[in-house]
Structure 1
Amino acid sequence: MTSFSPELWLAAIVVAVTILLWATALLPEFITALLFFAAAMLLHIAPAATVFSGFASSAFWLVLSGFILGIAIRKVGLADRLAQLLATPLTASWPRMVGGVILLSYLLAFVMPSNMGRIALLMPIVGALAKQAGLHPGSRGWIGLALAVGFGTFQLSASILPANVPNLVMIGAAENSFGLHPGYMPWLFLHTPVVGLLKGMLLTLCICKLFPATPVRITQQQSLPRLSGEELRLIAVLLLTLLLWMTDSLHGISPAWVGLTAACFCLLPRIGFISSDAFGSGVNFRTCLYVAAILGVTAVVVESNLGNTIARALLAVTPLHEDSPFLSFISLNAMTSVLNFVVTANGVPAMFTPMAQSFAEASGFSVLTVVMIQVFAYATPLLPYQASPIVVAMGLGNVPARDGLKLCLVVAVVSALVLLPLNYFWFKALGYL
């Protein structure tokens, strides 16, 4: 059978070993990334253009641009200034500090569509806030706040239609396959209660429990100095960048190329903000390689037809029954979670959505319901590599892999036990089931 050809098995083995190494952190993530590139090319499991497609993707360049913008925000003192404004309301307690950072990441998603862009803006500010509250780099509190940025930015933004790459992939696939056009407000109303608000509360609780800290409460603000010329120039660059990010649907320029242009300006001699030495020491190229490899694995899975083979195999064994809607609902979420291991969050909608008609016929749900069910699952990764924005936030915050893995697993398990049933009842209350 073509689906079980030697080439397909070879691709499956390389992908499986790569995922296993990332999941167990037996090797540093960038070494696993390089091993994937080497194995994929030596064994000819896909063309070079596919294996290295991550370096050509907009996500990779958003990551690199994000590092550069973050360096600039810290270097000119803008991060400390903004952190000082947030310090008094947020440092009253650890839950308020964590919850405030998560809320800030969620609110920013309403006006800024790029996950990577939001992380690039937030991480230097939150890092400066942590230092002012006595939470030093590498401490439990510092790690907790860095993870709050990454998890809050990615997981909660799935409830906002244009604020998450998997959402946009899913909408494109749904339009092409079935002519479905979910609107902004129906999407928001369906997903905000569970994927947005309740998930935000769960993240706050989990981070406070797993990464306890006692921030220094700041009750009196020091008078802020006047904005320097460098700060004013950088504010102008950031505002223009933010404006172009917010209006990308109007001008058609990808957020990645807007971010790259802003990053280039920050690096220019005399008018920029970052020296060559600061660029070399400040950009985490390990994380850039990691993200490129994640995207390359996804491309190899699609190119080799491994994803479709796995999806068809899952359909054959997944219990979908018209007279058991709760079981079917849980099963479709479980199927999405399994696919998330193979193709990561950005690839899940592209693989799952075209098969929605088959899932709908087997479960008795409408095609629209099946399409919408996957949002909860791809927004709840079991491992960090499944969501590149989380990986980037961990890289910017120098978060150890085991800490990101621990939070991922705890949030996923509690979400499955508590939030998934609530999501079912919310779907049912709105008439989707």
Structure 2
Amino acid sequence: MGGQGTVAATGVVAATAALLVLCMGLWATGLVAEVVTALLFFAAAMLLKLAPAQTVFSGFASSAFWLVTSGMVVGLAMNRTGLGDRLARMLAARLPASYPGFVAGLVAFSFALAFIMPSNLGRIAVMVPVLIALCDAFGLTAGRPGRRGAILAFGIATPVLSAAILPANVPNLVMAGTAETLFGIHLAYLPYLFLHTPVLGLVKGAILVACTVVLFPDRLDGTRPAPVSLPPMSGEERRLAVVLALMLGLWLTDGWHGIAPAWIGLAAAVICLMPRIGMLPSTSFSDIPLRTCFYVAALFGLTAIVNETGLGARIGHALLAVAPLQPGADATNFATLVGLSIGFLFVGTANGAPALYTALAGEFAGSSGLDLLSVLMVQVVGYSTLFLPYQAPPIVMTMDLAGLSLRDATKLTAASGLVSLIVAAPLAYLWFRLTGRLA
């Protein structure tokens, strides 16, 4: 009987490994739609009896799933009310009339917008048409390198810089949700922001601007576009602005009141959909791209199965056999963990990499001597260091909407990723030590 149980357990592990490779491969290559792969996972996991239903569908119970969903609602409200477009057009009056300043202004606005619009794809959808109009207004006409560089800089800044803001992109939510599911760890908004913003927000933003200006040299003629006359804010815009201000205020003070960012975001989404006081009719919920929400839920469920079947421990042991992790060697451990996180990017993209890494974080912590939270936080330095456009859907969406070439996008992504690895990663290590995150 014992032998049969061992064989059955081995079969479950093998089937889980096959499903992991299949799902991550389909998500990385995009051969089928993300939601189809997600549904394939749910069906296969249940048909093969890899884990109980509460494990397979645990992603739907994660707070990160609900934060993704609520972010989609808020993003739709920003689009429908015109508040997102208003914010973008107000930016035009404040952009410097020099090419480096123009690019820096767009990158800074991308980071600022992430605080109030927690959806990378939503920000891209709102901003790319406005960016094209801004480039025309500043004389960066079609075909000029500065136009390509400025739009790509915003597109790359959207997933990269928002990694410093906990609810602002899918990889963060995947990491937070997986950590909650597997380890019971709940990340707080303000400590996370303090740990990552100086390097991942400010330093990486400066690196991206410098790479853009060097790789896509151009210059503006110094003239500013004529001021755009904006109509008065509508009642819906004003109500949405109040909701966003309250949501951001509660996020910033979650350490005081103890309410998780997900439930704050969910409350904001409900207000947006409420009759009379809301900005969206209830039927608008059908316009929410739930495929992304199902994708996130499937990722959480997959990592939960990987952990429960013991596959995660086996993969961790295999990696630890070659990874130079050892107690007391903080610099080496930090570099190794960042390298592992970056390596997962090429397998599962920025959305899938945190799920793979976080499932193995316990093994990494045990071998490195670092506490579990530090191991989890180091990965953010890695998965925010992109080298290829396919690793982040917002970059691909930017290319599609603006008609930009893969060659240009790869050139800027690879260059900024390489410089970030050389400059930002060591600075992140120093900041982790300075803040006491590493001993």
Alignment TM-score, normalising by the size of structure 2: 0.71
Which of 353, 367, 374 is residue 358 of structure 1 equivalent to?
A: 367
Contact 1:123–1:396 at 8 Å: present in 2 too?
A: yes
Contact 1:60–1:288 at 8 Å: present in 2 too?
A: yes
The answer as to 2:203 corresponding to 1:198 is: yes
Equivalent residue number for residue 72 of structure 2: 67
Q: What CA distance in whole angstroms lies between the structure 2 residues aligned with 1:384 and 1:265?
A: 36
Equivalent residue number for residue 357 of structure 2: 348
Equivalent residue number for residue 262 of structure 2: 256
Equivalent residue number for residue 3 of structure 2: none
Equivalent residue number for residue 52 of structure 1: 57
The answer as to 2:295 corresponding to 1:290 is: yes
Q: What CA distance in whole angstroms lies between the structure 1 residues aligned with 2:213 and 2:42?
A: 38
Residues 345 and 91 (structure 1), Cα distance of their counterparts in 2 relative to 1, 3 Å cut: farther
Residues 429 and 349 (structure 1), Cα distance of their counterparts in 2 relative to 1, 3 Å cut: same
Q: Which runs of 5+ in 2 are unaligned?
A: 1-5, 142-146
Q: What CA distance in whole angstroms lies between the structure 1 residues aligned with 2:422 and 2:19?
A: 32
> How far off its partner does 1:422 sit?
6.0
Q: What CA distance in whole angstroms lies between the structure 2 residues aligned with 1:263 and 1:323?
A: 46
Contact 1:320–1:327 at 8 Å: present in 2 too?
A: yes
Greater Cα shift, 416-425 or 68-77: 416-425
> How far off its partner does 1:121 sit?
8.2
Contact 2:152–2:398 at 8 Å: present in 1 too?
A: no
Q: Which runs of 5+ in 1 are unaligned?
A: none
How many residues align structurally?
408
Q: What CA distance in whole angstroms lies between the structure 2 residues aligned with 1:71 and 1:35?
A: 28
Q: How large is the Cα RMSD of the aligned pairs?
A: 4.9
Deviation string 1:303-360 (CA, Å, 9 cap, x unpaired) is 2222222111111222457999876654343334456657732563463256424224
Equivalent residue number for residue 241 of structure 1: 247
Residues 293 and 164 (structure 1), Cα distance of their counterparts in 2 relative to 1, 3 Å cut: closer
> How far off its partner does 1:243 sit?
2.2
Contact 1:65–1:260 at 8 Å: present in 2 too?
A: yes
Equivalent residue number for residue 235 of structure 2: 229
Q: What CA distance in whole angstroms lies between the structure 2 residues aligned with 1:368 and 1:64?
A: 26
The answer as to 2:226 corresponding to 1:220 is: yes
Q: What CA distance in whole angstroms lies between the structure 2 residues aligned with 1:323 and 1:4?
A: 36
**Any residues of structure 2 matched to 1:269-418 within 5 Å, and which?**
269-275=275-281, 278-280=284-286, 282-320=287-325, 330-338=335-343, 341=347, 344-345=353-354, 348-349=357-358, 351-353=360-362, 355-360=364-369, 373-380=378-385, 391=393, 406=410, 411-416=416-421
> How far off its partner does 1:222 sit?
2.7
SS at structure 2 position matched to 1:65 = helix
Equivalent residue number for residue 159 of structure 2: 150
Given residue 130 of structure 1, which amino acid in structure 2 is its aligned partner? L
Residues 353 and 6 (structure 1), Cα distance of their counterparts in 2 relative to 1, 3 Å cut: closer
Q: What CA distance in whole angstroms lies between the structure 2 residues aligned with 1:246 and 1:269?
A: 28
SS at structure 1 position matched to 2:259 = coil
Contact 1:91–1:133 at 8 Å: present in 2 too?
A: no
SS at structure 1 position matched to 2:360 = helix
Greater Cα shift, 29-38 or 370-379: 370-379
Contact 1:287–1:392 at 8 Å: present in 2 too?
A: no
The answer as to 2:112 corresponding to 1:103 is: no
Residues 48 and 266 (structure 1), Cα distance of their counterparts in 2 relative to 1, 3 Å cut: same
Residues 321 and 234 (structure 1), Cα distance of their counterparts in 2 relative to 1, 3 Å cut: closer
Residues 385 and 165 (structure 1), Cα distance of their counterparts in 2 relative to 1, 3 Å cut: farther
Q: What CA distance in whole angstroms lies between the structure 1 residues aligned with 2:278 and 2:246?
A: 15
Contact 1:332–1:373 at 8 Å: present in 2 too?
A: yes
Contact 1:336–1:378 at 8 Å: present in 2 too?
A: yes
Equivalent residue number for residue 31 of structure 1: 36
Q: What CA distance in whole angstroms lies between the structure 2 residues aligned with 1:275 and 1:9?
A: 47
Contact 1:99–1:204 at 8 Å: present in 2 too?
A: yes
Residues 301 and 222 (structure 1), Cα distance of their counterparts in 2 relative to 1, 3 Å cut: same
**Any residues of structure 2 matched to 1:137-176 within 5 Å, and which?**
145-154=154-163, 156-157=164-165
Deviation string 1:221-270 (CA, Å, 9 cap, x unpaired) is 23333222222222222222222222223333322222222222222334
Residues 264 and 171 (structure 1), Cα distance of their counterparts in 2 relative to 1, 3 Å cut: closer
Residues 166 and 63 (structure 1), Cα distance of their counterparts in 2 relative to 1, 3 Å cut: closer
Residues 300 and 214 (structure 1), Cα distance of their counterparts in 2 relative to 1, 3 Å cut: farther
Q: What CA distance in whole angstroms lies between the structure 2 residues aligned with 1:3 and 1:205?
A: 56
Equivalent residue number for residue 84 of structure 1: 89
> How far off its partner does 1:66 sit?
1.9
Contact 1:54–1:292 at 8 Å: present in 2 too?
A: yes
SS at structure 1 position matched to 2:49 = coil
Q: Percent identity?
A: 39
Contact 1:98–1:148 at 8 Å: present in 2 too?
A: no
SS at structure 2 position matched to 1:133 = helix
Given residue 255 of structure 1, which amino acid in structure 2 is its aligned partner? P
Q: What CA distance in whole angstroms lies between the structure 1 residues aligned with 2:56 and 2:121?
A: 26
Residues 184 and 68 (structure 1), Cα distance of their counterparts in 2 relative to 1, 3 Å cut: closer
Contact 1:83–1:128 at 8 Å: present in 2 too?
A: no
Residues 379 and 134 (structure 1), Cα distance of their counterparts in 2 relative to 1, 3 Å cut: closer
> How far off its partner does 1:60 sit?
2.3
> How far off its partner does 1:153 sit?
0.5
> How far off its partner does 1:373 sit?
5.0
Contact 1:53–1:296 at 8 Å: present in 2 too?
A: yes
Given residue 356 of structure 1, which amino acid in structure 2 is its aligned partner? A
Given residue 131 of structure 2, which amino acid in structure 1 is its aligned partner? A
Contact 1:134–1:215 at 8 Å: present in 2 too?
A: no
